[in-house]
Amino acid sequence: MQAMRLVPFFEYAALFVAQEADFAATFSEVGRRGAFIKQKDLADFERSLASFVGVSHALGVGNATDGLEVAVAAIGVGRGDEVILSSHTMLATAVGIHFAGAKPVPVECGPDHLIDPAAVEAAVSSRTRAILPTQLNGRTCDMDALGGIAGRYGLLIIEDAAQALGSRYKGRCAGSFGAAGVISFYPAKTLGCLGDGGAVVTNDRGVYERASELCNFGRNAAGEVVRWGFNSRLDNLQAAMLQFQLDKYGNTICRRRRLAALYTERLSDVAEVALPPAPDSDPDHFDIFQNYEIESERRDDLKEHLKDCGVGTLIQWNGEAIHHLTALGFTQRLPYTDRLFSRMLMLPMNVSLSDDDVDYVCGHIRSFFGYSGFGHSGFGHSDFGYSR
């Protein structure tokens, strides 16, 4: 019997308290300069972010939802066009496509919870202009397969990398594959600010310029109004707070991968749960574990049991896939995703967790399914590290 402890799913205050001195110093320093809108800290952070992702341009925006709309519009997709996305994504992905004037077409995901390339190809129509894969849970999709489909049908790719800053496929960072990528700095993200924030990243100067204009009332770099636009910016203060966290982001990723490895180690013999791929299980993928999403046939009972034990869990998107949102006009039937949505559950995954917290969560999952103790002792891995 384990002593009761509380393991919340996520604690916003803990995020702040752990770095309170740095947040306070930045607040004070930026505040005393009166540098709130479009100042040097934002430009510096945009440069650092672009370099981290491995692209030539980054544009800070108000949030990733704005970023998605701007990215879709900036690559020239709009009215009359269809854009294929995974049904297992945040509503924001579809919202971005919709408000850019195009039609979101949700398709099935596969066993790794990421968009299924075969389903993408089956959904291509004469109106399809782009594929918008979500690099979900901190794992990058099979970009070779998606790139192949895009090439065959003359489609563009935009990445929803809101959950995947630093995630890599074959050594390349999420956000750097398509015509544009979008990142979120929502507080619970792996790199989070104290409020809303996001960025559009791209290697295409024209896309960057159009996105900048769209976010700045349609004004170009010379200040002339050249199109309709709106106002969406990453606050200078938030950018400064993101910068000091980006400087140590390698440690953050390393810690998340270590927690994921612990979960794998502690649960791999529990036949009643399906785990996400372990950190070092596939050389093509470097996952950053924004989330740790498991599957179980007895998901609802397990969730209740963990709640009784003081463990917070979450069902992503309130349990609603994009194609379930019939009020928005979706009519697709996606049985694989339907089944997944009756099974999936996110366990706590954040840098406030201790190894003992993970042991506690896993101990209660094991006892729920009638397993005793831990199946293994110690770690076979010596390094869950981040290097690039």
Q: At its nearest, how many Å lie between ligand PLP and the CB of residue 266?
A: 26
Determine if 90 is a binding residue for ligand PLP (CB under 6 A).
yes
Give yes or no for a contact between 97 and 103, defined as CB atoms under 8 angstroms apart.
Answer: yes
Determine if 291 is a binding residue for ligand PLP (CB under 6 A).
no
Q: Map tokens 């996606």 to a residue.
A: 334
Q: At its nearest, how many Å lie between ligand PLP and the CB of residue 174?
A: 11
Q: At its nearest, how many Å lie between ligand PLP and the CB of residue 80?
A: 24
Q: At its nearest, how many Å lie between ligand PLP and the CB of residue 182?
A: 7
Determine if 346 is a binding residue for ligand PLP (CB under 6 A).
no
Of 95 and 153, CB closest to ligand PLP: 95
Q: At its nearest, how many Å lie between ligand PLP and the CB of residue 109?
A: 12
CA distance 70 to 276: 32
CA distance 315 to 297: 14
Determine if 163 is a binding residue for ligand PLP (CB under 6 A).
yes
Determine if 289 is a binding residue for ligand PLP (CB under 6 A).
no
Length in residues, the chain: 388
Bridge partners of 172, per DSSP, are 169
| Subset of 189-208 contacting ligand PLP (CB under 6 A) | 196, 198
Neighbours of 338 (CB within 10 A): 14
Determine if 92 is a binding residue for ligand PLP (CB under 6 A).
yes
Nearest alpha-carbon partner for 149 in 176, 170, 177: 177
List 81, 142, 159, 160, residue binding ligand PLP (CB under 6 A): 160
Of 176 and 184, CB closest to ligand PLP: 184
Determine if 128 is a binding residue for ligand PLP (CB under 6 A).
no
Of 167 and 184, CB closest to ligand PLP: 184
Of 162 and 358, CB closest to ligand PLP: 162
Determine if 162 is a binding residue for ligand PLP (CB under 6 A).
yes
* Contacting residues for 337 by C-beta, under 8 A, at least 6 apart: 87, 88, 108, 109, 321, 323
Determine if 186 is a binding residue for ligand PLP (CB under 6 A).
yes
CA distance 362 to 76: 47
CA distance 32 to 10: 32
Q: At its nearest, how many Å lie between ligand PLP and the CB of residue 280?
A: 24
Of 90 and 346, CB closest to ligand PLP: 90
Q: At its nearest, how many Å lie between ligand PLP and the CB of residue 332?
A: 19
Determine if 63 is a binding residue for ligand PLP (CB under 6 A).
yes
Determine if 87 is a binding residue for ligand PLP (CB under 6 A).
no
Bridge partners of 189, per DSSP, are none
Of 49 and 262, CB closest to ligand PLP: 49
Q: Which range binds ligand PLP by CB under 6 A, 90-98, 121-129, 148-156, 328-336?
A: 90-98
Of 91 and 274, CB closest to ligand PLP: 91
Determine if 134 is a binding residue for ligand PLP (CB under 6 A).
yes
List 30, 64, 237, 349, residue binding ligand PLP (CB under 6 A): 64
Q: Which range binds ligand PLP by CB under 6 A, 12-20, 88-96, 108-116, 218-226?
A: 88-96
How many residues bind to ligand PLP according to rule CB under 6 A? 15
Determine if 350 is a binding residue for ligand PLP (CB under 6 A).
no
Q: At its nearest, how many Å lie between ligand PLP and the CB of residue 195?
A: 10
**Interface contacts to ligand PLP, rule CB under 6 A:** 63-65, 89-90, 92-93, 134, 160, 162-163, 184, 186, 196, 198
